[in-house]
Structure 1
Amino acid sequence: MPAHRPDPLPLARFAATADLAHAIEGWQQQLKSERRASPHTLAAYGRDLAFFLDFARDHHGEQPSLDLLRRLKPADFRAFLAARAARDLAKTSQARALSVLRGFFRFLDRRGLVSNPALTVLRGPRLPQAVPKPLSEGDARAAIEAADTVQTVGSAPWIAARDTALVTLLYGCGLRLSEALDLTRRQAPTAGMASLRVTGKGGKTRIVPLLPIVSTAVDEYLAHCPHPIGANDDLFVGVRGGPLNPRLVQRLMEQLRFHLGLPDTATPHALRHSFATHLLAGGADLRAIQELLGHASLSTTQRYTAIDAAKLMEVYDRAHPRAGE
């Protein structure tokens, strides 16, 4: 499998009796087929559940089964969260683990396998409101311009063209890295296209306007790429022609941070934040930005209003008919 599409955790990894293992298999299949969870999500959820079952086995001295899950008390779940906290895991990791358990027990309850209300009395950790950390417009432009110059000596010219195309796409269309790497050659944003259809989280599609600078960069990359790329093959490929590993893109941004003196927050995802923040600063409608980013909730998009409140008020003063009275 490609490096950026990990397999779900194998059933053998879960500490579970046969009945519980069968239920886990059904849960994984539901996440994949009904909820359209990404491979990354499936792998992460599996790790969280496996860690919980390992804890339950050690805590109770028996192999986890449907019967054991039925007997668990709130104190058992609190002990599990305390064990995770002792490992200095972030609050976001704690919250995700609790969410995974709630989802799994909800699945078991709906299937008539286990009914246990113990999780309902637990409260997750209070999470701080995360504020996106975008690049400035100048830094975003500099990152695009320098993307073809930071590779190690001896790199093929087409690698530079690929990196430029990818960075331009992430910033120009506001894509998640996984969305960009999931594009096929057939979906490539090339000259003559006015928009790009993107498949995001949960299999939801959205349409993003395509800037000429993006299509030009992608065309340049395709013109120089030495590897044959079929219509249904991944658009962005590695040195040997296989799917591009996301770690290489993260490393590219690390190199850009070093060469341009960018902050540590300058990651591939920061380019998506920059896309949204710069649109908002330019007076774009918040609902429109929500659609462009593919956010299910407007409250997620509203985080960007905390970044440049002064600029937002300036736009408001220009736009409101009663401003200045």
Structure 2
Amino acid sequence: MNSGDALKEWHDHLALDRRRSPHTVRAYHAAAARLLAALGEVDWTRIALLDSSALRGHLAARRGEGIGNVSAARELSAIKAFIAFARTKAGLAEAAAPRLRGPRVKKALPRPLTPDDAVNVAVAVSEDAAEPWIGARDRAVLLLLYGAGLRIAEALALPFDVLPLGDVLRVTGKGSKQRDVPILPLVRAAIDDYAAKVPYTLLPGTALFRGAKGGPLSPGIVQKAMARARAGLGLPATATPHALRHSFATHLLGAGADLRSLQELLGHASLGSTQIYTKVDAATLLDVYRSAHPRESA
């Protein structure tokens, strides 16, 4: 077996069987390729039986290349998944997995925008666009992220079939899991405005949001548009499209939403992913306290 065949099987397993995101597939595929290159030969049994010592040596070599804690932790996670796949391929599914803990990674808190900034950046993106329909498109996408808590990939994957919008939108998230999210009148109006202005024919089964040449809209285009808008508004570099989703969650939690409901709205597989927003809200309140309390501002 050569490395190309092994990597193709791994890629197909991730993309088709596990339905991982394209970003995860690329990262895990690259980690497996580095491991196979280091081993010098490709054998499912040998990979399946790699122990903690071998993994520690591989990570040490990667550290020598200059990767930090976050990258090392991701590399270890990807390699462990690849070894588990190799155990299945080699018929050694019952073999013990290597025990090795990754480096401690301090999880950074998301930085939410204020409600005014979230809406203003969507307006600024619209006004800065080269054409009115592109401005309407970008405003609709950003309002979906903030008003409904969608991931950017979820918003851009929406088909034309979702129109006409009602009060609830069914979204397909990670792992092809579906969830229903409420659609605010402001968001619905923005999407209707875009649909009325887009110069391309929108057909059932095709992408709702289109690029300038008519193909499916790329996340990078939205990210660049928001980068220009935040610079014009004097917002920090943390004001990204994904920060709008964080803002949606933080503002709902601050308004009294419970964690379970928030988990469902965000499409989190585990409540632990949602609980980070309790810290975000506390951090936001602390910022307000520090800027407004007489003793702090004196």
Same fold (TM over 0.5): yes
The letter for the 1-side match of 2:76 is L
Q: Structure 2: which 5+ runs fail to align?
A: 287-298
Q: How far apart, CA to CA, are the structure 1 residues paired with 2:184 and 2:68?
A: 38
Q: Secondary structure at the match of 2:134?
A: helix
Match of 1:135 among 113, 129, 134: 113
User: Is 1:274 the equivalent of 2:247?
Assistant: yes
Within-5 A mapping of 1:280-291: 280-291=253-264
Q: 1:202 aligns with which of 169, 175, 185?
A: 175
Q: Distance in 2 between matches of 1:269 and 1:139?
A: 14
The aligned amino acid for 1:175 is L
30 and 224 in structure 1: CA distance in 2 versus 1, 3 angstrom threshold: same
Task: Determine if the alignment matches structure 1 residue 147 to structure 2 residue 125.
Answer: yes
TM-score by length of 2: 0.88
Whether 1:91 and 2:69 are equivalent positions in the alignment is yes
Q: CA deviation at 1:35?
A: 1.9
Report the CA distance between 1:23 and its aligned residue: 4.4
Partner of 1:30: 13
Deviation of the 1:41 alpha carbon: 2.1
Moved more, 304-313 or 213-222: 304-313
**TM-score in terms of structure 1 length:** 0.81
| Residue deviations 1:246-290 (CA, integer Å, cap 9, x gap) | 111110111112100111100110000000000011111111111
The letter of the residue matching 2:25 is: L
Give the equivalent residue in structure 1 for 2:266.
293
Alpha-carbon distance between aligned partners in 1 of 2:56 and 2:95, rounded to the nearest angstrom: 14
Instruction: Please provide the CA RMSD for this pair.
Output: 2.4
Q: 1:180 aligns with which of 141, 155, 158?
A: 155
Aligned match of 1:253 in 226, 230, 233?
Answer: 226
CA distance, structure 1, for counterparts of residue 193 and residue 120 of structure 2 = 19
Shift of the alpha carbon at 1:119?
5.7
State the secondary structure of the residue aligned to 1:148.
helix
Give 5+ residue unaligned stretches, structure 1: 1-16, 58-62, 314-325
Deviates more, 1:252-261 or 1:85-94: 85-94
Q: For residue 295 of structure 1, give the secondary structure of its aligned residue in structure 2.
A: coil
Give the letter aligned to residue 102 of structure 2. G
More helix by percentage? 2
* Structure 1 match to 2:52: 74
Q: Report the counterpart of residue 4 of structure 1 in structure 2.
A: none
Q: Deviations over 1:27-46 (max 9, x none)?
A: 33332333222233222211
Equivalent residue for 1:45, pick from 28, 42, 47 = 28
Residue type of the alignment partner of 2:107:
Q
CA 29–93 in structure 1, closer or farther in 2 if over 3 Å, else same? same
Contact 1:161–1:217, Cα closer than 8 Å, also in 2: yes
| Structure 2 equivalent of residue 100 of structure 1 | 78
Aligned to 1:317: none
Secondary structure of 2:65's partner? coil
Aligned with residue 169 of structure 1, among 117, 129, 144 = 144
